[in-house]
Amino acid sequence: MPEVAIQTQKLTRKFGDLTAVDGIDLQVAAGQFFGFLGPNGAGKSTTIKILTGLLAPTSGSMQLLGVDFAANPVEVKRQIGVVPEGMGLFERLTGSEYLKFVGRMYGLDRLTTQRRSEELLDFMQLADRPKTMIADYSHGMQKKLALAAAVIHGPRILFLDEPFEGVDALAAGALKALLARMTERGTTIFLTSHVLEIVERLCSHVAIIHKGRLVAQGSLEELRAGISGEAGTKTTLEQIFLSIVGQDGTERPQLEELSWLM
């Protein structure tokens, strides 16, 4: 049986009367490229924040690599890397300074931190502006730097919240190659994205959250098997997503109401 990287039991988060995450039971095996999908406001970012320690759950528990998060948060955080919503960069540092800072925060020694920073900056094509502050980076450059910082300590689980948003096709290609190599080497990647094509191409397993509840979870093949598509054609992730999330018919906008626009 494969090692379990992420496991949650009845994970719940409430904001006043609103239940953003409602009793989620997630299970992600080690080495999986896991896509976490859902419509806007479904609870994706809240879940990823809870899993990375940025938000406390109202109830429920979670274990990462078999370690209980609540009991030993520092040990868990040593094993994970995060690109949070908004990237979490210190904008008054240069790219190199930021990577060195993060490396040391994760407890890497000085020489290793310095060597890895140089290599990551080269790989991400950020090395030609050594004195530029992060505040002056473009959005795509900041995304690449945030990813570099998330992997500098060689995490066993990588959490990525919309990693390809605002990244050009060229940079996205390099990032995808890097992520694919990491999963080959056993890293678990937990990714949220609105772009279903990216998730379909990269992820082996998917979970769909809707109104705070987990409505589907499994490999792409398992999800396809549960959907009746046209004979002879392969069901796309978009079709699966729409059939699960929009199945009650209330989710789709009623175009007839906008007749003046037609």
Partner 1 sequence: MADVTQSISLLEQIRLVSALRWRILRNSMRKKNNRLDLIGMIFTGVFGGILVLGLSFAFYAGAYAFLSQGRLEWMALLFWGIFVFWQVFPIFVAGFGANFEFRTLLRFPLSLRAFYIIGLAYGFADFSAMASVCWLLAMTAGATAAKPGLLPAMLLVVGAFMLLNVTIERLIGSWLERLLSRRRTRELFLGLFILSMISLNFITPLMQRYGASARPAFLRLLPYFAWLPPSLASSSLAAVTRLAPAGFFLNFVILLLYLVLFSALLWRRFAAQYRGEELSETAAPARATVRPIAAIDDGPDRLSLLSPQVAAIVRKEFCYLTRNGFAYLTLLMPPLLILIFSMNFAGRHPTVGGRGVSAEMFFPGMMAYLILILMAPAYNSFAFEGRGIQTYFTAPLRFREVFLGKNLMLVSVLSVEIALSLAMLAWRVGLPSAHTLVATCAAIIFTIIGQLTIANWSSLTFPRKMEFGQMRGQRQSGMAVLVAFGSQILMGGISAVILFTGNWTGNPWLPAEAFAFLAAAAVSGYFASLDALTQLAEKKKEVLIEALCR
Contact between 20 and partner 1 per CB under 8 A:
no
Cα angle 148, 150, 155 (rounded to 5 degrees) comes to 120
Distances from the Cα of 63 to the Cα of 46, 71, 215, angstroms: 17, 10, 21
- Residues 25, 41, 59, 91: which binds partner 1 (CB under 8 A)? 91
Closest to 199 measured CA to CA, from 244, 152, 240, 140: 240
Contact between 140 and partner 1 per CB under 8 A:
no
Report the site for partner 1 in 220-239 (rule: CB under 8 A).
none
- Residues 10, 110, 201, 252: which binds partner 1 (CB under 8 A)? 110
* Least separation in angstroms between CB 75 and partner 1: 7
Catalogue the long-range contacts made by 22-25 (C-beta closer than 8 Å, 24 or more residues apart).
Answer: 22/211, 22/212, 22/213, 23/60, 23/213, 24/60, 24/209, 24/212, 24/213, 24/214, 25/214
Contact between 138 and partner 1 per CB under 8 A:
yes
CA–CA dist 50, 84 (Å, integer): 11
Closest to 44 measured CA to CA, from 176, 166, 208, 261: 208
- Residues 19, 27, 39, 104: which binds partner 1 (CB under 8 A)? 104
Contact between 123 and partner 1 per CB under 8 A:
no
Contact between 248 and partner 1 per CB under 8 A:
no
* Least separation in angstroms between CB 142 and partner 1: 10
Residue 253 corresponds to which tokens in the numbers above?
Answer: 């906008």
- Residues 5, 99, 108, 182: which binds partner 1 (CB under 8 A)? 108
Q: Mask of contacts with partner 1, 30-69, x by CB under 8 A?
A: ----------------------xxxxx-------------
CA–CA dist 206, 224 (Å, integer): 11
Closest to 235 measured CA to CA, from 185, 202, 181, 196: 196
Strand partners, 29: 4
Contact between 136 and partner 1 per CB under 8 A:
yes
* Least separation in angstroms between CB 7 and partner 1: 19
Report the site for partner 1 in 157-216 (rule: CB under 8 A).
none
- Residues 106, 227, 242, 244: which binds partner 1 (CB under 8 A)? 106
Torsion on CA atoms 116, 122, 124, 127, rounded to nearest 10: 110
| Binding positions for partner 1, rule: CB under 8 A | 52-56, 74-78, 80, 82, 84, 86-93, 97, 100-102, 104-111, 114-115, 118, 127-130, 132-133, 135-136, 138, 260
